[in-house]
């Protein structure tokens, strides 16, 4: 790969125009001054340049639900990775929602096999996000109640099995563990604990965060709302400097006005990150689709169960970035950061001081028109 430099670029987290030096396929230097490197250059004329997106909660795509994967689906997973790459996603966590232990183990085995042989220049699987089965039944949302499990050490070890290195994140309801031992145990295994599908009050959530939980799954959804006398799980999260809250910006899961409040409270990317929460019809037309033993209907990109329960979306991650700009919730740089830099912070895989240096230069170029319509394309 040839070395080169990008000039006259705007970059999330930087002020003014920057020059980016690319060497051996990685970002070597970013500086407002011109570098001394005598390299071929690409003048982007004030457009924004960013890393690719990282989606930490995506349930499927192209008709394949991740809890249903079989060893015969390895080629389909390759196609999904290529599709997500075309959607501007560089890395993602396939999410396994609540299902039987047998289904969880089979899916984890498939992803373990796939991750061992991932090709380059396509979206990379960083690990698996288990969303359940340790959820509060009263906040289960679209998760099937019959597969929910008690949050005990015996059941946790049963679910994890030999796949602790494959599981990157697990969503759980902390109030289900009165012993307070499960969060520290999972953290000791290197698994990131995210709180969600929960009725935890402020004290219960604060205790879990103190014990090592560091994420919140789809803020506002499947949890009590913010209240001035009982801030609840989300209120506890927003007061903890180390906690990162995922949120969905499709206009259905959270009203744009509440997103504006969330972004203001969430320290503009230091405590928030975008997710898609996309379901298996991502990339397909609206219509009715099977979902575990049930059926979902997708209308205008929003998926619901027959009883009207909101179950997810079929909008990709970067649509959320475009929405945040269109709704004037935050500026272009902050919106891009929420889908590109912030998820990497949430995983602990980039340095807050300079998250770009050393990253593979699979970059996106963003431009915005006079009507605040944001668009992007891949540079490589």
Q: State both tokens at 176.
A: 């289900």
Using CA atoms, how far residue 102 sits from 109, 147, 217, 234, 345, in Å, is: 11, 11, 24, 32, 32
Active-site residue, 277 included: yes
DSSP character string of 254-278: S-HHHHHHHHHHTTTTTSEEEE--B
Helix (H) or strand (E) holding 326: helix 317-326
Compute φ and ψ for 51, nearest 5 degrees.
Answer: -65, 165
306's CB contacts (< 8 A; 6+ apart) are 294, 295, 297
**Neighbour count for residue 352 (Cβ, 10 Å):** 9
Q: In 59-110, which ranges are E strands?
A: 60-61, 64-65, 89-97
Burial of 103 (0-12, 13-18, 19+ CB in 10 A): middle
- The answer, yes or no, to whether the previous bond of 133 is cis (omega within 30 of 0) is yes
Helix (H) or strand (E) holding 154: helix 153-160
Q: State both tokens at 67.
A: 């809890």
Q: Which residue is it, tokens 């042989």?
A: 117
Q: How many CA atoms lie within 13 A of 365 on its CB side?
A: 15
64's CB contacts (< 8 A; 6+ apart) are 73, 76, 77, 80, 280
Q: State both tokens at 56.
A: 């930490």
Which is the catalytic residue, given 55, 68, 177, 277?
Answer: 277
Catalytic annotation, residues: 277
């Amino acid at each position: 790969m040839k070395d080169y430099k990008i000039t006259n670029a705007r970059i999330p987290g930087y002020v003014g125009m920057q020059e980016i030096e690319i060497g051996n396929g990685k970002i070597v230097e970013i500086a407002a001054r011109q570098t001394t490197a005598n390299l071929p250059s690409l003048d982007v004329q004030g457009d924004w340049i960013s890393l690719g997106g990282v989606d930490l909660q995506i349930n499927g795509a192209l008709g394949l639900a991740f809890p249903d994967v079989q060893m015969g689906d390895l080629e389909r997973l390759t196609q999904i990775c290529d599709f997500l790459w075309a959607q501007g996603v560089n890395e993602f966590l396939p999410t396994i929602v609540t299902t039987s232990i047998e289904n969880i183990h089979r899916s984890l085995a498939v992803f373990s096999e796939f991750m061992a042989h991932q090709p380059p220049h396509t979206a990379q699987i960083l690990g698996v996000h288990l969303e359940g089965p340790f959820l509060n039944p009263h906040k289960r949302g679209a998760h099937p109640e019959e597969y929910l499990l008690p949050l005990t050490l015996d059941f946790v070890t049963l679910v994890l099995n030999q796949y602790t290195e494959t599981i990157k994140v697990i969503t759980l309801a902390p109030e289900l563990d009165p012993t307070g031992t499960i969060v520290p145990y999972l953290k000791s295994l290197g698994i990131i604990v995210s709180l969600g599908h929960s009725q935890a009050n402020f004290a219960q959530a604060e205790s879990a965060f103190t014990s090592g939980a560091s994420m919140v799954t789809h803020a506002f959804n499947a949890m009590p709302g913010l209240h001035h006398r009982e801030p609840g799980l989300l209120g506890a999260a927003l007061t903890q400097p180390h906690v990162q809250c995922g949120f969905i910006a499709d206009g259905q899961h959270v009203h744009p006005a509440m997103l504006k409040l969330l972004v203001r409270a969430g320290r503009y990317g230091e405590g928030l990150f975008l997710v898609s929460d996309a379901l298996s019809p991502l990339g397909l037309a609206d219509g009715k689709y099977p979902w575990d033993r049930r059926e979902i209907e997708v209308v205008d990109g929003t998926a619901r169960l027959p009883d009207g329960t909101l179950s997810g979306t079929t909008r990709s991650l970067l649509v959320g970035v475009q929405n945040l700009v269109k709704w004037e919730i935050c500026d272009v740089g902050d919106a891009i950061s929420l889908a590109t830099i912030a998820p990497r912070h949430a995983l602990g895989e980039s340095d807050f001081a300079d998250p770009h240096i050393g990253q593979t230069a699979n970059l996106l170029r963003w431009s915005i028109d006079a009507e605040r319509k944001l668009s992007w394309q891949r540079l490589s």
